[in-house]
Structure 1
C-alpha cells in the first residue's frame, strides 16, 4: 500500500519560543502494510528530503521497500513532512521560521501519530536533521518506540554545526541566488576532500572551461534552486542548528533514562557534521546509564552523505533490527 500525501490540521499550536499558530498543516504518507495490521516504523527525512521515502522518486528506496531491509511487506511506514518544507500542493511556507526548533517539529509529529491513533511504534529512524528530530521525539515520548535509530545525527547540534548553519543563513539572507549559493557551500560540508579527489581528480571540463568539481557544484546549486523554496531552506537550516534535547532544562541523563528504546547509533567515520567522536561520546553516556545501546560506524570517504551512498553497510547494520527476526 502506498498513499499520496494526506493532511492533518493541527489547531492552536504553541512553539517552545512562545509563537502561537492558529493552524498548522501536517502532511504525511503511508507505505507498506495497512495501518493497524503490522509493526510501525516512523521515518524522518533530512534537510532536502520529504515524506516520499520509497516508491517512485523515493529518496531512501535502497533501504525501504518490498524485499528491502525495512520491508514494506512486513511493516507500516509513516513519514511526515516537516511543515513548510515545500513538499505537497498545499504546504504553506513558515514565515516565522526562527521561532521553530527541532523540538517543535517533534511535537508536531507526535500530534500526527496521536491523530492516527498510534501510541507505540517498532522503529523510529531518521537521517541527519531527521535523526535529531527522532531524538527529540523520544525525549518527549520516552515509551513510544522499541528502537531509536539516529543515522548520521546526534541529540545536539555542535559548535561546528551551528557555525556552518550560521554561514548558510548568511548566504540565504544576502545572496542574489540564495538557494543556489547556499547549496554550493553545503555540499562542501556533506562530502570530504578525499571524496572529491576520488570523484574528480582535478579533471578539467573542456566544454565549460571549468574544473569538473566546479561544474558539479554549479549543477547541484541549480538543481536545488529549481525544486526547493527559499523559505523551506531557511526553516530546515534553522532546525538543523537547533537540535538539543537538553534545551528544556533537564540533563541528558534525566531525559535519556526514561527512554525505553534500544538506541542504535549509526555514525560515519568521515562525517564533518555529526562526527564519530561525538557519537561515540553519546554511546558512552548512554551505556553509563545502563541503557540498551549499540554503536555502528559506516566506513566511507564520502562524509555526511555516506548514509545516502553506502547502502550495503547500512543494510548490514539495520538487518538485525528489521530483518530476519519477527518484529
Structure 2
C-alpha cells in the first residue's frame, strides 16, 4: 500500500525551504519484526519493487534473494518521479536539488518512521548512487551498502550524455519519447543490439527491427512517465557527488561504517566498470570491509536488470547471512518506536 510522509520546511542545497511529500511502500515483514532493507529505484523506476508488476521482482519477493518472508523491504519514491500520477509533487525549482538533498529527505523520513538501523541499502543506477549518498550522510545507518551499476560521482561522460538528454527534453516536439530512444542506445551495447536483431528488417514496414524497438520503448515510456519527472531525474544524475563539493570522494566513502558491496557491469557504457574498479582498489586501501563483483554481459548498463542469475549469485550470501543470524536470535536491525 502506498503511504505518504511529509518533511516539513525542508531546506535544499540552494537554500529554498519547502514541504516535501514523500511516498513509500513497505513489503514483507513488519519493520518491528525483521531486518529492514531500503531499496532505491532507478531513473524510471518507483517504489513498486516486487509483486507481479514489480520492476525488481526477480530479486525481491517470496523465496527470492531478498526474501520478503524474512525481511522488511522499504522503498521510497524520489519526490517528483510521478509514481502517484498527476497529483504527484512537481518541482518548478528542480534544478535547485542535488542527489544529496534526496538522501537528506530519506534520512529525515527514516527518523519520522522511527527507523534507526538498516540491514542494507541497495539500488541500481541512480538508485545505487543514492545509496552511496545516504551511506555517506549517515555512516552508521546501514550494515550493508550495495550500489549496483552506478558510481559515487558524476563523471564527465555521464554529464555529457545527460546534457544531450536535457536538450532533447527541452527541444523535441515529442520529448519523453525521443529522449528514451537516445537513452536506450547507451543503456545497451552494439554487441547486445547485434545479437538481438541481427540486422533484420520488419516484414510489414520494412524498417530495421532495431528502429521499431527504439520507437516501441519511446512510446512505452511516454505513456507512463511525465516530462517533469524525466527532467528532474536526468538533472539529478548530473549531481552525484558524495564528497559534497570537496572533490575528495575516497575520504567521504571511507567514513562509511557498514560493509560495501560494489556490483559493476563489465560492458556498462553509462557508469563505466573501470571507474568502479578504480574506486574499489583505492578505497580498499582505506577500508577493509569492501568487495566488488562484476556482472559479465554483452547487454551493457541494463545488465543489472537482465542478468538476474549473476546478481542473485553475488547478493545471496549477504542476505543469507542475516537469515542464519536471525535464526540464532541475533537480529541486527533496531526499530526505535
Interval of TM-score (by shorter of Structure 1 and Structure 2)? over 0.9
User: Do structure 1's residue 29 and structure 2's residue 25 form an aligned pair?
Assistant: yes
**Pairwise CA distance, 1:154:** 1.1
RMSD after superposition: 1.1
**Distance in 1 of aligned mates of 2:211 and 2:219:** 12
SS at match of 2:223: helix
Q: Note if contact 1:94-1:232 (Cα within 8 Å) is conserved in structure 2.
A: no
Deviations 1:160-179 (A, max 9, x none): 01000000000000000000
**Pairwise CA distance, 1:113:** 0.8
1:55 to 43, 51, 55: 51
SS at match of 1:13: strand
4+ residue runs of structure 1 moved beyond 6 angstroms?
Answer: none
Question: Any stretches of 5+ residues in structure 1 without a counterpart?
Answer: none
Q: Note if contact 1:29-1:80 (Cα within 8 Å) is conserved in structure 2.
A: yes
Higher deviation after alignment, 304-313 or 110-119 = 110-119
**Distance in 2 of aligned mates of 1:160 and 1:290:** 27
Deviations 1:66-121 (A, max 9, x none): 00000001110000000000001532212211111110111111111111100110
Q: Kindly report which structure 2 residues correspond to 1:136-155, keeping only aligned pairs within 5 A, or say none.
A: 136-155=133-152
Partner of 1:230: 227
User: Do structure 1's residue 262 and structure 2's residue 259 form an aligned pair?
Assistant: yes
Partner of 1:198: 195
Question: Any stretches of 5+ residues in structure 2 without a counterpart?
Answer: 326-337
Q: Kindly report which structure 2 residues correspond to 1:284-295, keeping only aligned pairs within 5 A, or say none.
A: 284-295=281-292
Partner of 2:125: 128
Higher deviation after alignment, 285-294 or 139-148 = 285-294
Partner of 2:212: 215
Partner of 1:319: 316
Deviations 1:177-235 (A, max 9, x none): 00000000000010000000000001000212210000000000001001100000000
User: Do structure 1's residue 9 and structure 2's residue 25 form an aligned pair?
Assistant: no
Higher deviation after alignment, 95-104 or 309-318 = 95-104
Deviations 1:113-143 (A, max 9, x none): 1111001100000000000011000110000
SS at match of 1:79: strand
SS at match of 1:227: coil
Q: Note if contact 1:263-1:294 (Cα within 8 Å) is conserved in structure 2.
A: yes
Q: Note if contact 1:267-1:297 (Cα within 8 Å) is conserved in structure 2.
A: yes
1:273 to 262, 265, 270: 270
Partner of 1:20: 17
**Pairwise CA distance, 1:250:** 6.6
**Pairwise CA distance, 1:246:** 1.3
User: Do structure 1's residue 95 and structure 2's residue 92 form an aligned pair?
Assistant: yes
SS at match of 1:112: helix
